[in-house]
Amino acid sequence: MSSIKAKIVATARSLPENIMTNHDLEKIVDTSDHWIQSRTGIKQRHVVGENEASSDISTKIALTLLEKSQLSPTEIDVIIVGTVTPDHFTPSTAAIVQNNINAKNAWGFDLSAACSGFIYGLETGSSLIKSGKYNNVMVIGVDTMTSILDFQDRDTCVIFGDGGGGVILQPTKNNGIIDSLLHMDGSGGEYLIIPGGGSKIPASVKSVENRDHFIKQDGKTVFKHAVRGMADVSSKILKNNNLTGNDISLFIPHQANKRIIDAAAERCGISKERVLINIGKYGNTTAGTIPIALSEAVDDGKIKNGDYVLLSSFGAGFTWGSILLKWED
């Protein structure tokens, strides 16, 4: 087994300038600030401007990562972009970013795992680093969810926002990413789905009229599975590494719903002051939530050398997982 591990050497995030508050949504759909906050914890979300796409947000993230890591674009080996809102089916958002930052030696791809996109990307990037073949892997989680929201559906349009974040991974023989647990259950696919636009329901006048190109969600079913999935995988990864919630300096869960986050933290025995919650400011940015929160935590000095940091997610698919880090400066 390889002694090489992957460590995070730089973090970055980017949010669109435009902000949509709950009061703004009250003017569009039958909802209220109280209803949204009491059920989700969300107060506002960032939304893209006209002609602003996932690649634009990702390019800003990538440029910041290069600056922070003091790497040149040509030193990047791989670019992985976790997203369910790519600019196009093809070319990939990763290819657009590669061109935008002139990372001419990099290859890469988009990864579709919804809210688990960044976690899946981090595991994939870590595996590439551990192979010994790559030294600088860029992993970005980004989504422009407003591009697939039905603003006639109050159960979904109030939840999501736009934005993303990312990291640079490099080899280490010390700490870094020390464990991961990833899962998928395709039987849950129907409960959180964008029905149209693919080969099953290609774009047509009928698919547009049926609003098939917007995200659909069975909220109660997703909530039930998310609570169990995130709590189970987070507690199991701690047990596998002979740790308890008291050993975790910072828990960074996917920001889907404050009630889901609270339930997962309680199950793991992690006190509230060690749980990062920023859903009130950003809403659910899908693949963007964890890297945005991680970047904020690093910038705010909430993570120190040697700290155990726990990441956990749950998303459409169903997909879910957890990654355990021992932070290395």
What are the start-end ranges of the E strands in the chain? 5-14, 18-21, 44-47, 78-82, 107-111, 137-144, 162-172, 176-184, 192-193, 216-217, 248-253, 308-315, 319-326
Q: Is 115 a catalytic residue?
A: yes
The sheet that has 137-144: what strands, in order across it?
Answer: 5-14, 162-172, 137-144, 78-82, 107-111
Q: Is 213 a catalytic residue?
A: no
- Measured CA angle at 185 (ends 238, 187), to 5 deg: 150
Q: Choosing from 46, 136, 254, 268, which is the catalytic residue?
A: 254
d(CA 171, CA 62) in angstroms, rounded, equals 19
**b vs e for 231-249, b when ≥16 Cβ sit within 10 Å of the residue's Cβ?**
bbbbbebbeeeebebeebb
d(CA 24, CA 215) in angstroms, rounded, equals 21
- Measured CA angle at 68 (ends 138, 76), to 5 deg: 30
Q: What's the per-residue H, E or C state across 228-256?
A: HHHHHHHHHHHHHCCCCHHHEEEEEECCC
Inter-axis angle of helices 33-40 and 258-268, nearest 10? 20
Q: Choosing from 22, 136, 257, 284, which is the catalytic residue?
A: 284
Phi, psi of 3 (to 5 degrees): -85, -5
Q: Three-class SS of residue 163?
A: strand
Phi, psi of 324 (to 5 degrees): -105, 125
One-letter identity of residue 153: D
Strands 192-193 and 162-172, how do they pair?
Answer: unpaired
Q: Choosing from 22, 46, 115, 257, which is the catalytic residue?
A: 115
User: Catalytic site residues?
Assistant: 115, 254, 284
